[in-house]
Structure 1
Amino acid sequence: MTVVKDHRRDDLRDEFPVGMHVLAVDDDSTCLMILETMLRRCQYNVTSTNNAKTALNLLRGNKNKFDLVISDVQMPDMDGFQLLELVGLEMDLPVIMLSVNDDPKMVMKGITHGACDYLLKPVRIKEIQNIWQHVVRRKTVDSKERNKTSNQDKAKVDSNESGSVATGNSDQIGKSSRKRKDEDDDEENDNEHSSSQKKPRVVWTVELHHKFISAVNQLGYEKAVPKKILDMMNVEKLTRENVASHLQAFFLTLLL
């Protein structure tokens, strides 16, 4: 029997997370360009589309090509939750949701539908740098599940041959399950603690972004500094740091 090796996967293990292949989906062309630029700066391979149905076709036609999907929630043809559900049913890929909506109900909907993360726009480069952890976590969980199934199958075979289940294997499976549950509980508590420590973030709505663009255009690119933009926008609770971060993301699109 001839064994065909996936050399792309071998290369990925050697260089990971460099070269990780991400499918980016967003119907907003500006947001998509910013996301794609950030992904490439993190040395990920990127395929982008502004259409969720096209994204689904790409995934179905190239099941071994992609490692992770990042999708906007609000899209006209098929929203991000529908795409998330279909990816979960048809293929084993981690999916990250993007949205300007920070409503806890929306976040909960994304997580309960199977999203591995829910990021608020405008997404930050540090968040993009760390998305590889979801690929590792998915592969680790899959590996544990395969080992667990293998141990259970072996226990059944031993039971059929000897008339009894091997107690050692059964105890080991039980300990492994309890240990995994404890680790998952600890990780969930850590995530909750980390989330509670995060500072409130400004959500850059379409209206707010338009005010930002208007200020930049009036000042001109050479004079468009965060303090002057902030003064012209005159938006309550908006800080110089918020404007500086958004200005940096905006200028990234000019590099394309």
Structure 2
Amino acid sequence: MNDEFRIGMHILAVDDDRTCLKILGRLLESCQYHVTTAPSARMALNLLRENKNKYDLVMSNVHMPDMDGFKLLELVGLEMDLPVIMFSENDDPKLVMKAIDVGACDYLLKPVQLKEVKMIWQHVIRKKKTSKRSNDDPRFKWSRDLHHKFVVAVNQFGVEKARPKKILNLMNIENLTKEHVASHLQVFFFISYALDF
């Protein structure tokens, strides 16, 4: 089932570094994804606008000269319902948080690894499920107060035993879903790891 789905996926990869783009393209193809590459964010946006239903997922570098990955991510979020994965050599937690806040479903470090690429199909499935559930819902925003409550909940269970469902039940916030908590938990662990490193 997973393999069948993965083989049919169309991915748009974006990076102004043509060598990195070629390597990423080959990596994606080795996982049997259909890949289109774009050496600039503007070209990627044109491809997406011309073929809105062709792509399942976008992978974009953060730092590009013509338009940065955040602007591309923002426009994709406004114009089409596609999951976007950001990647960069920079593991600054503030940058990771910004990417997730703007709407990225994941943030990978360059060079992107094969094991990570093998798992990206999950974001497409998740996006399709959440789109069906809440077509008109605004994107969930994590306020400072909400994040504080989240951290208190994580600390109560301890990092090792903190699970999205447990945190969700303890926080007891209206409109907060298990998916929101799971995604925030993933970012939280990434940042904690980056700060300890």
TM-score range, shorter chain: 0.7 to 0.9
The alpha-carbon distance between structure 1 residues 45 and 136, as it changes in their structure 2 partners (threshold 3 A), is same
The alpha-carbon distance between structure 1 residues 25 and 183, as it changes in their structure 2 partners (threshold 3 A), is same
Which amino acid is 2:49 matched to? R
Mapped to 1, the partners of 2:27 and 2:68 lie a distance apart of 23
Partner of 1:98: 87
The alpha-carbon distance between structure 1 residues 102 and 143, as it changes in their structure 2 partners (threshold 3 A), is same
The alpha-carbon distance between structure 1 residues 193 and 71, as it changes in their structure 2 partners (threshold 3 A), is closer
Where do residues 1-256 of structure 1 align in structure 2 (5 Å cutoff)?
15-145=4-134, 181-184=176-179, 186-188=181-183, 191=186, 195=190
Query: In angstroms, what is the RMSD of aligned CA positions?
Result: 3.0
Mapped to 2, the partners of 1:96 and 1:130 lie a distance apart of 12
Please state whether the residue corresponding to 1:123 is helix, strand or coil. Answer: coil
Please state whether the residue corresponding to 2:190 is helix, strand or coil. Answer: helix
Structure 1: give runs of 5+ residues left out of the alignment: 1-11, 149-177, 203-256
Mapped to 1, the partners of 2:102 and 2:116 lie a distance apart of 21
**Could you tell me the TM-score, scaled by structure 1's length?**
0.56
Mapped to 2, the partners of 1:55 and 1:189 lie a distance apart of 28
Identity %: 56
The alpha-carbon distance between structure 1 residues 147 and 96, as it changes in their structure 2 partners (threshold 3 A), is closer
Mapped to 1, the partners of 2:131 and 2:183 lie a distance apart of 19
The alpha-carbon distance between structure 1 residues 18 and 183, as it changes in their structure 2 partners (threshold 3 A), is same
Please state whether the residue corresponding to 1:115 is helix, strand or coil. Answer: coil
TM superposition outliers: structure 1 runs of 4+ over 4 Å: 196-200
Structure 2: give runs of 5+ residues left out of the alignment: 138-172
Instruction: State whether residues 48 and 55 of structure 2, in contact with CA within 8 Å, keep that contact through their aligned partners in structure 1.
Output: yes
Which amino acid is 2:179 matched to? D
Shift of 1:61: 0.3
The alpha-carbon distance between structure 1 residues 186 and 27, as it changes in their structure 2 partners (threshold 3 A), is closer
**Could you tell me the TM-score, scaled by structure 2's length?**
0.72
Size of the alignment, in residue pairs?
162
Shift of 1:50: 0.5
Please state whether the residue corresponding to 1:17 is helix, strand or coil. Answer: helix
Which amino acid is 1:20 matched to? M
